[in-house]
Structures are given as C-alpha cells and as structure tokens.
Amino acid sequence: MISSVQGEHGSMLSNGSIHCSNGTEEKLDELRRLLGKSDGDLLKIVSIGAGAWGSVFAALLQDAYGQFREKIQIRIWRRPGRSVDRSTAEHLFEVINSREDVLRRLIRRCAYLKYVEGRLGDRTLYADEILRDGFCLNMIDTPLCPLKVVTNLQEAVWDADIVINGLPSTETREVFEEISRYWKERITVPIIISLAKGIEAALDPMPRIVTPTQMIQCAAGVPIENILYLGGPNIASEIYNKEYANARICGAEKWRKPLAKFLRQPHFIVWDNSDLVTHEVMGGLKNVYAIGAGMVASLTNESATSKSVYFAHCTSEMIFITHLLAEEPEKLAGPLLADTYVTLLKGRNAWYGQMLAKGELSPDMGDSIKGKGMIQGVSAVGAFYELLSQTSLSVLHPDEKKPVAPVELCPILKMLYRILIKREVSVLAILQALRDETMNDPRERIEIAQTHAFYRPSLLSQP
C-alpha cells in the first residue's frame, strides 16, 4: 500500500523551513535528461529501509523536489507490521504537541486523533503508519516531512530509476537478492546509492573485505558502474534540522558528478570521489572504535584525559589498518578522522558503548536496539578482527622481531572483540587495554605502517 502526501506548492515546507527553489528545477531537469526521461515520464526514486539516515535522506529529497509532482516521484519502503510500543507512542505525542507546525499539519490531515489514541493505549500505531506522517521510529524527536511509504518491496523497486540503500549492511544482501528477482525483466539498469556503513569479512579463497556495494553488485547483478556510496561526517537529525554538513558520493564518474550536483543543497554540500570501496570501508572502521570511545567516556566519568588517551591509541590503530587497505592512505586521513570525530560526539555506536558501560544494555541483547536501530559497529568489530587475524597477512612485530597477524598490533580491536563478540570479559576490560604498561607508544604503530610495504590490494578485492 502507498500513502499519499498532502501539501501545497507554496514555499513553506512541512518541517517549518523555507524552501529555496533557485536552480532546483533546473537540477532535476538536468538529471532527467541524463536518464533519458521524456515529458510525462516520472523520475522514480525509492529509498529502501527506513532507519534514521535512510528516512532523512528520503525526506531531504522530498523537501527539495517533491513539489515537482509531474516530473519526479519519491517514495520509501519499509517492512510492515512493526508496532510502536506504548512508551514510544507517549513520547511521540509529547513531540507532536511541542511543535506547533507539526500539530497543525496533523490536524489538517485529520491524523491527530490516532496519536491521542496511541498515547492512551486505545490504539496500536505502526512504524510504516507514522512514517507516512513524518516520524521515523529510530528518531522520534526529529519530525520529518510526510513521506510516500510503500510496504510491498516489488511494488517499490520494479520500475525505480534510482534506489537508495538505507538498509543496515547486515540486511543488504538478503533484501537485494529478493529485489533481483523483480528486476529480471528490466531493460534499463537502475542507479543505486548506498548509505550503509558496515562490512563483512570473507576468508575464502583469500581474506578480503566485502562492502555493501559489493553485496549489492553480487546479489542484484547491477554493474558496479551503477552503484555508488554516499557517506560523510554527519548526524541524520542535525542534517534535517539544517545544520551545515558535508558528504561525499563515490563511484564512477558518469553518475557521481551529476548526482553530487542533484543532491547538493545549501546546507548539505556533496563532493564526489572515484575511490568507492576504500571510503566505504572507512565508514565502517570508525564505528568499531566509536563503541570503545563510548565505553571509556562512561567508565571514566567523561574524563577528558582518559578520552584523549583512548583517541590517541584508537586513531593509531585506524591509521595502521588504513595503510593495509589503501595505496594512498594519507588521502583518507581527513575524511576518516572527521567521520570518527562526529561519531564519537553523537553517533549511535558511541551511545551504545556508553549504555554497555552503564549496564543499561548488554552484548547479549544483540545489536538491534529499540529507538536506535542497528548498531553497525558490532558486526564490524567481528569482521575486522577475523580479517586481521589471518596469518597470511603477517607483519613484523617491532619488539619480538617475528611475523604476527596484524590484529596483534591492534590491542583495542582485540579487546572489543573479546567484549562484544566472544563476550568473555566485561566492559571494564577496555580500560585494561589502555593502561597496559607494556603497550607501545601509538606513534610506533604509525611508524611501522609508514615504513613497510603494508598495502594489501587483495583485501579490497583489488587486482
């Protein structure tokens, strides 16, 4: 089923902000021409997955281009049947009543009463239902514009021109394998923009990282030239509230440059880059160390000194790993550190680490958390550990002067693996990893990476 979006053609957007139309229609027309769209033929964009970033991304497009109904259709798919519990419904009601623009919008759409009934427990609300009204279950405090929601996957994707992958990396392969069945009769090849930040490790026939874009290519049979990755140092709710942000779209030049122009907004600047897989991997790597940062912050009562010690060690490990993965790792330093910084400040992975340290969550509860969605850093810890523990990738240990697996020079990664994956030590053990008097100066780890022929192109399935 598809819901409709009500709205006027005026300049006031549903979230209360003022829409600037200068050049917007021209950008839309330019992309339509590139895709061979004739008059009356809609440019169809669908976002798959309705987590915080996927929902915000769809809402940004709806706010920017939704007024041009004769030229573009923007929809979002999510699975049906997910109910909203009573406490979340009560909180949602408080958010609605704190925003006059949202309150008026719901009253005008005759939708307010169901939220009253949801708060009272007289009605069960559903995630796809509230998304139609502009509320993401993983981001209740940030009302979005109303969205056209599709709960049938085949209906959502079968004729889509551009598909946004807003799924967690752990669900990407399965969903796109299903999508591939609906695309068997397609004549044109769709464009896919992946927002997923997570990785898998494949060990056979050789150790390598598998990224969401590679999963999509394999599962759906779409050429890699038509698959792009978009990422950057950003927090979804802040972007929708018009905080200035940067992002980078990576992939083949044919599509990345026109899409960067199409996606760019005054508060959301999109650059482009050809290095698809490496940027994608870096987006997953920072989530690993963000979880540890949250643990340290909570366990030390937000000690600036302890957090800085952790930052020194975790960034040295990230630089070390980057030298294994990238031929020119220095080009990634800025984007990687920026993305790491924002995740440490306000990301869900750092939050998850804090909740573990406070005892409000435990690893046994899994990595899909109510109100937050999938904590991608957990699976990434397992993937990076498995990959870097392979003896075929051995490097020379600086003290023992013998070959060791790369993970042996990454004590924080090792400890996170023991805490989150093996679950053989408590969260307190992360402090032990920092306070080990035998730990090498983090500068030495960077020097090791910089002075050896570390680069292993096979890790990213490069020739």
Active-site amino acid positions: 286
Owner of token pair 């090498």: 440
How many whole angstroms separate alpha carbon 275 and alpha carbon 249? 9
164-197: string of b/e by CB count within 10 Å (b at 16+)? Answer: bbbbbbbbbbebbeebbebbeeeeeebbbbbbbb
Torsion of CA 419, 337, 344, 286, to 10 degrees: -30
What is the 8-class DSSP label of residue 460?
Answer: G
List alpha helices for 228-332, DSSP H. 236-240, 253-263, 276-299, 304-325
Least Cα distance to 341 among 294, 278, 378, 290 occurs for 290
What is the DSSP code string of 19-68?
A: P--TTHHHHHHHHHHHTTPPTT--EEEEEE--SHHHHHHHHHHHHHHTT-
Q: Is the dihedral of CA 307, 376, 167, 32 positive or negative?
A: positive
Between β-strands 148-150 and 200-202, what pairing exists: parallel, antiparallel or unpaired?
unpaired
How many whole angstroms separate alpha carbon 166 and alpha carbon 179? 14
Question: Does residue 169 contact residue 53 with C-beta atoms inside 8 Å?
Answer: no
How many whole angstroms separate alpha carbon 444 and alpha carbon 441? 5
Question: Does residue 219 contact residue 210 with C-beta atoms inside 8 Å?
Answer: no
Give the number of C-alpha atoms closer than 13 A to the C-alpha of residue 309, restricted to the C-beta side: 17
Least Cα distance to 132 among 21, 42, 55 occurs for 55
Least Cα distance to 165 among 76, 36, 281 occurs for 76
Owner of token pair 């959502």: 156
Between β-strands 227-231 and 245-250, what pairing exists: parallel, antiparallel or unpaired?
antiparallel
| Cis amide leading into 146 (omega within 30) | no
